[in-house]
Structure 1
Amino acid sequence: MLEIRNLTTTYGPVKALDSVDITVERGAITAVLGANGAGKTSLLRTVSGLVRPAAGTVTLDGEDITSAPVESMVRRGMAHVPEGRGVIAELTVEENLRLGMMGAPTNGDASREAPVRTLKDAYGLFPALGDRSNQQAHTLSGGERQMLVIARALLAQPTLLLLDEPSLGLAPRIVAQIFDLVRGLVADSGLTVLLVEQNATSALSIAHTGIVLNLGRVVVTESAEALRRDETLRHSYLGF
Structure 2
Amino acid sequence: MLTIDRLTVGYGPVNALHEVTLSAEKGEITAVLGANGAGKTTLLRTVSGLHRARSGTVELAGQPIGCVPAEDMPRLGMAHVPEGRGVITELDVEENLRLGGLGRGGRVSEEDLSLAFDLFPVLADRRAQQAGTLSGGERQMLVIGRALMARPSLLLLDEPSLGLAPRIVAQIFAMLRDLVRDQGLTVLLVEQNARSALSVADRGVVLHLGRVVADEQASVLASDDQLRHAYLGF
Unaligned runs of 5+ in 2: none
Counterpart for residue 27 of structure 2: 27
Quote the offset at 1:105 in angstroms: 6.5
Matched, 1:208 2:202: yes
Matched, 1:236 2:230: yes
Q: Is the 8 A contact 1:87 1:145 kept in 2?
A: yes
Alignment map for 1:36-47 (pairs within 5 Å): 36-47=36-47
Matched, 1:169 2:163: yes
Counterpart for residue 141 of structure 2: 147
Counterparts of 1:182 and 1:164, CA distance in 2: 13
Q: Is the 8 A contact 1:117 1:157 kept in 2?
A: no
Counterpart for residue 65 of structure 1: 65
Counterparts of 1:30 and 1:18, CA distance in 2: 19
| 1:195-214 deviation digits (Å, cap 9, x = unpaired) | 00000000000001000000
Q: Is the 8 A contact 1:117 1:155 kept in 2?
A: no
Counterparts of 1:117 and 1:214, CA distance in 2: 42
Q: TM-score, normalised by structure 2?
A: 0.97
Counterpart for residue 75 of structure 2: 75
Quote the offset at 1:103 in angstroms: 2.9
| 1:29-75 deviation digits (Å, cap 9, x = unpaired) | 00000000000000000000001111111000111000111111000
More helix by share: 2
Quote the offset at 1:215 in angstroms: 0.3
Counterparts of 1:207 and 1:198, CA distance in 2: 13
Counterpart for residue 175 of structure 2: 181
Letter in 2 for 1:217: R
Counterpart for residue 9 of structure 1: 9
Quote the offset at 1:118 in angstroms: 1.4
4+ runs deviating over 6 angstroms = none
| 1:102-138 deviation digits (Å, cap 9, x = unpaired) | 234659xxxxxxxx95112211111111111111111
Q: TM-score, normalised by structure 1?
A: 0.94
Counterparts of 1:217 and 1:120, CA distance in 2: 41
Q: 1:225 aligns with which of 208, 219, 222?
A: 219
Alignment map for 1:69-148 (pairs within 5 Å): 69-104=69-104, 117-148=111-142
Letter in 1 for 2:82: P
Counterparts of 1:184 and 1:104, CA distance in 2: 23
Give the aligned CA root-mean-square deviation in angstroms.
1.3
| 1:140-194 deviation digits (Å, cap 9, x = unpaired) | 0000000000000011100000000000000000000000000111011110000
